[in-house]
Each structure stands twice: as structure tokens, then as C-alpha cells.
Structure 1
Amino acid sequence: MSWNETLESRGARRNDAGIITDFGHAADELAALASHTVVSPLNQYGLIRFSGEETATFLNGQLSSDVRTLALDAAQYSSYSTPKGRMLASFLVFRAGDDYYLQIASELQTAIQKRLGMFILRTKTKPSDAGAECILLGVAGPDAAAKVAAVTGAAAPAAMAVVHTERATVIGLADGRFELVIPAESAESVWLALLDAGAKPVGEPVWRLTEIRAGAPWITAATQEAFVAQMANMELIGAVSFTKGCYPGQEIVARTQYLGKLKRRMFRMHVATAAQAGDDVFSTEMNGQASGKIMLAAPAPQGGFEALVVAQIASLEHGLHLGSVDGPALSRLDLPYALD
């Protein structure tokens, strides 16, 4: 049975882009997150693999994080920007052997892989699409660590730590979540083992909600070139190095940091109506101009939507509204890390 057939046998349903939306019971899947371990196929992400002895040097000159410091047992967030400092993509970066992997929104992978490849020149590194060889699964919920350990045979790693086992590479994420990077030929057995251990299969919106609650800023097509890294809290999650030297947009990022010109931040919020990435938010003091933009949004178990919203800091005291100054009000929720 193929991987897709395995998922479909459990009731997987997909949207027009091929992303798994649910396993037949979307509302129950959202509700399950609070009390059950859930497992989600992460085909909303792609994987770019870089191979070659000069890979770390090359990536360090392109991405916002210090790739040279990335150990085999660690992961880091990072971003890739225009010369004007606007993010084209965000990544989760990790290693396996001598290769480096960039996890990226799948809709951006082809264009970003091609763009990065244009700057390789004589550097000894080569990008390739690792998506056909590796399957990504996300595991979250109250007993996620124990279930991951039982299935992989190794203790589940702490946040941003990585463990390599015979069955999978396991990446620890914030809020007790885990990503499993599994060879395609082993994906079915790992998936079934997690289900047998009691994990409930869920679609992409549930995992997106966990990313929002963790404050993980993923750039998608709707938000390309909308934000400088610090607007999306990237430096607060270790995705920006201010000491490593030049990369595209570095001057803008450094100026924002050291001259105190940061006027926007990313906040976690709730709104009573549907929202999606790229939607504008407004505030009364902005004279009709948008105060910010939604980066990610997902249905909330309690109703409405939770969202990561990048907005003018000064607008918070005046209130933010979706779509217009008269639109639905957004209420602020906590993030797992402190803002300046």
C-alpha cells in the first residue's frame, strides 16, 4: 500500500492543493488536541536538502541564522529575505549526516530552491528536493513525548534538540511537540505504530493551530515580502544572528535591531469570525490604513479563529479589527515567549 493509500484508508481528505484537511471529523480533531495525543501528516511543508562540503558556508551567507553553529543534535529556525530585508521564506533547519535540510512551506519550495541555487556559483553544495524520500509527521498533545519515545526507541528530545534513530529523525519543538522525519519506505509502519499507541490522526488545520500557539512564524505565499524578521519575532526564537556577518537583508535587520525602529510585532490573537493568512487588520488611529496583517490563522476549538498577527505596537491600545475599522474585534492571547 502506498503512503497516500495508507492515509486515505484512515479517511484522509485533501484540499485542492493536496494538503490533508482532516480525517473525516474536523471539529472532533480540534477538540481532541486538548486531551489526546494527535499525529498529523505534514505535507503542507517541503524539504530542501543541501549536500556538499561547503554547504554550511553557503547557507550561512544566505540565511538569517548562524548555520555554522548548527550541530547534528540541534535544529534552528531561520529566514531568507530580499536585499530590503523582507522575508521571502522561513525555515526549520536541521542536519542528517553531512546534509542540511530546510523545511519550508510547500507552496514556496520550488521558487525558493531555484532562487537559492542561482547564488551557488562555484560553491561546493547542491540543492535537491527531499520530499519524495522523506515523510514528515507532527505529534502533539498531553502524552506526545511518551508516544514518540515508544515508537522510535529513544527519549523524546527537548525543544530545538534533535535525536536520530533507526526509524526517524525526531525534532523537538516548543509546547511539547515533535516532528518525525521518516524515510518514505518506513512511513507506514511508524504511522501505524503511533495510531496503535493511541495517537489520533488530524489534518493540517490542527497542526497549524499548534504552530500559532507556539508563536512559530511560517511565511506562506500570502505573506511573502510582508515582514522584516523582527516584526515576526524571528530573533526571539533564535532565527536571527546579529554577529555572523552578511546575508541578504542583513543591513536592514541590523538597523532595525540597533536603532530601535521596530514599530511592529507579532501577537497571538482570537477573532470570532473566519480569518486567513494575508488578511489585513485595522485600528482607528491609522486613518484608514492597515495596521498589520495576519501571518497564520486556524479554527479554534472554542469557536472563531486563533491567529498570529503582525501589527503596529501602538495600535494595541486602540484595538485591532479584521478587514476594516468596523470589522470583528481581535482579542490578544498569550505567546509562550516574552516580547520586548
Structure 2
Amino acid sequence: MMTLPQFLEMTAASSTPELQSTAAQQGFVTALTDLGLIQVSGDDAASYLHNLLSNDIEHLSNTSARYAALCTPKGRMLASFFVWKTSTGIFLQLSTSIQAAVQKRLQMFVMRAKAKLTDVSTEYTTLGLGGAAATLSLQEWFPQLPGAVNDKVDTEAGSLIRVSDAYGHARYLWIIQSALLADYWPTLQKNLLASDAAIWRRADIHAGIARIIDKTQEQFVPQMVNFELIGGVNFKKGCYPGQEIVARSQYLGKLKRRMAIASVPSSAVMAGMEVFSEDDPDQPCGMIVNAEAESSDSSICLVELKVADQQADKVHLASADGARLRFLPLPYSMLDITQ
């Protein structure tokens, strides 16, 4: 029998970015099969993760979620996580392209801690929902929806987390046991268009949320991709790998590199590609963090580069004479946030 994730992928296979743009406004549901899920359980799960990640995990409640990074000793991001807690453990959501390597690295630090890491990517499916019809559709299973961004509610239907809005509408992550998906699908499809995961990645870009994948590991200190601006770094917690570098970047002088949103007149934009400024054409001034096509000849992207270069209309993709980037406003303040 075909699983629901397979069905969602099949029905969305022919979706174009233009059709998905309509769905983003009216209402959509997508299976986020490009995101994996690690469950950390045991008496020491919270303290073990607290000592490894950039955010406060020990005080994470069952009613909220937050971003966190795993960094190298030099402060470079090996992974970006979305983290939440339930009665069964702490969940780390990350790109499937890096999950196996990251989980292996995390396992190295367990040692005597009472903590167990389990890949539960097949046991649970994460649905992404957004658009005008999403809120009403979810009330079938979640009478009380999470009100603020990063709030979480749990029912017998699973966990529901509100994430940053996009396209003028609320978005939600629904983490559900894969075995139960087929029971809920007939109701979901009445009001929501099944789409592939590109619609969610595109919305994350518009929301200014960076996702570390295999092509961008160890490229960025968290502040270079605005990670502290979305609550992914706690500057008051204790030590973790790379903490000294991350703190120094925050407090010693003005940050010279940041992430911006840009549109590019090309459908061939990919994470890891370099960008160049006309003012210094011989060396790259930044790198594409994430990118998705928005039409047959244009893309939206997150790009990390020198702050000074974001003020000029002189940045190009791949070379100084490549496609020109047009910078767009971020949905959050660029004022430094400390916790």
C-alpha cells in the first residue's frame, strides 16, 4: 500500500513554483521528507544536549520549541536544529542530508550520560501547513492552536508547533505518527493543496530562517546567518563547542557579515554557490545559504555576505558578471539580540 508521504510526493511532482505560490496563499499541506528527526531520551537528555548546543535546552518546556546549532570548536555550524520536547524525549529536526553524520557526532559525546539517540524519521512524519485555510483545517484535531511563534500544543493527534509566518499567513509543523497519517488525510485534502517540500523551503527563505545542509556545513558562525536573531543562540548559558568564538563575534566590535534575502533572475541557484561584488571581482564576497526557484527563470535565496555589500546593487551570482542579486527586506530586525 502506498504511504501518505509517497502520495504527497506523487501528487506534487508536477507542481510548478507558480502553482505553489497560489497554494501558499490559499492553503497547503506538505510532507517534509527532506527533514530528519532524532529523538534523545533518558534522564540526562536535556543536560547532555545543553552542553553541546548553542541554546538553552535544560529549560526547554513542553509547550515551546526553539532553534539551536551544533558548532565546531571554531564556532562554525555543523548543523541547525529545530528542537522541542514531549513526554517521550527531546526531538531534533535537521536536514536529512547531514543527519547520519551529525547523529554519529552527537553519539560520540554521550559517554556515561543517560541519553539515547534514535533516528525516528520513519516513525514520525512532519507535515508543514500554511495559507489561509490551514488554521481552520487544523482545528479538527487541535481545538486550541498554538498562538505565538514557536508555541507548541500536544494532543492525541500529535504535536503542533506554530513557526514563523510567511506569505501573510500562519504556518504550522504537525508531527504525527506515520501509522496514523492515512486516517487524517481525507479531511486535510478537502481544503488544502498537497504540495512538495519546496513550498516550505521557499517559505522559510521568505521568513529569513537558514537551514544548514551538507553543502554549507562549517561555513558560518551562527551570527553570519542571523541565527541569534531568530532565537537560536543563548549568550547566558554555559559552555558548548565553539561558545567562545560565538560570544566573541557578538560582543567584540560590529558584525561585518550577515545574511540577507535576495531574488535572482536565474533558476539555477544552489546552496554553496559563491557571490561576487563588482567592487572586488576577483574574490567571492559571500555564499548562498539556501535557495529555491520561484518561477522558471527566477529564484529566492538566503545569502551570507559582507554587510557593506548588501547596500549596493553590485552583487552577482557565481562571478562578477553573473546574474545580479536584488536584496529584499528581512522580516525581523537586524538589531543584535542578546539573551
The two structures share one fold, judged by TM-score above 0.5: yes
Spell out the pairing of 1:253-264 with structure 2 (5 A cutoff): 253-264=246-257
TM-score normalised per structure 1:
0.92
- Which segment is superposed worse, 290-299 or 300-309? 300-309
Is the aligned partner of 1:330 residue 2:318? no
Aligned 8 A contact 1:11 1:23 in 2: yes
Select 1:189's aligned residue among 159, 176, 183.
183
Give 1:314 deviation, angstroms: 1.2
Give 1:126 deviation, angstroms: 0.8
CA distance in 1, matches of 2:152, 2:50: 20
CA gap 1:8/1:130 in 2 versus in 1, 3 angstroms = closer
User: Which runs of 5 or more structure 1 residues have no equivalent in the other structure?
Assistant: 14-21
Aligned 8 A contact 2:281 2:320 in 1: no
- 1:57-78 CA deviation, whole Å, 9 max, x = no partner? 1101100011112100000001
SS of the aligned residue for 1:252 comes to helix
Which residue of the partner structure matches residue 122 of structure 1? 112
Aligned 8 A contact 1:87 1:229 in 2: yes
Is the aligned partner of 1:152 residue 2:147? no
Select 1:199's aligned residue among 185, 189, 192.
192
Moved over 6 A (4+): none
User: Which runs of 5 or more structure 2 residues have no equivalent in the other structure?
Assistant: none
Which residue of the partner structure matches residue 169 of structure 1? 159
CA distance in 1, matches of 2:43, 2:6: 40
Which residue of the partner structure matches residue 283 of structure 1? 277
Is the aligned partner of 1:304 residue 2:303? no
* Count of residues in Structure 1 that have an aligned counterpart in Structure 2: 329
Give 1:2 deviation, angstroms: 4.1
% identical aligned pairs = 37
CA distance in 2, matches of 1:123, 1:165: 30
Aligned 8 A contact 1:11 1:24 in 2: no
Spell out the pairing of 1:48-59 with structure 2 (5 A cutoff): 48-59=38-49
Give 1:11 deviation, angstroms: 6.4
Is the aligned partner of 1:235 residue 2:225? no
Which residue of the partner structure matches residue 10 of structure 2? 12
CA distance in 2, matches of 1:138, 1:9: 15
Considering only aligned residues, what root-mean-square deviation do their CA atoms show, in Å?
Answer: 1.7
Aligned 8 A contact 1:23 1:201 in 2: no
Aligned 8 A contact 2:24 2:199 in 1: no
Give 1:286 deviation, angstroms: 3.0
Is the aligned partner of 1:178 residue 2:172? yes
CA gap 1:334/1:191 in 2 versus in 1, 3 angstroms = farther
Aligned 8 A contact 2:24 2:130 in 1: no
TM-score normalised per structure 2:
0.93
- Paired AA for residue 196 in structure 2: G
CA distance in 2, matches of 1:301, 1:193: 30
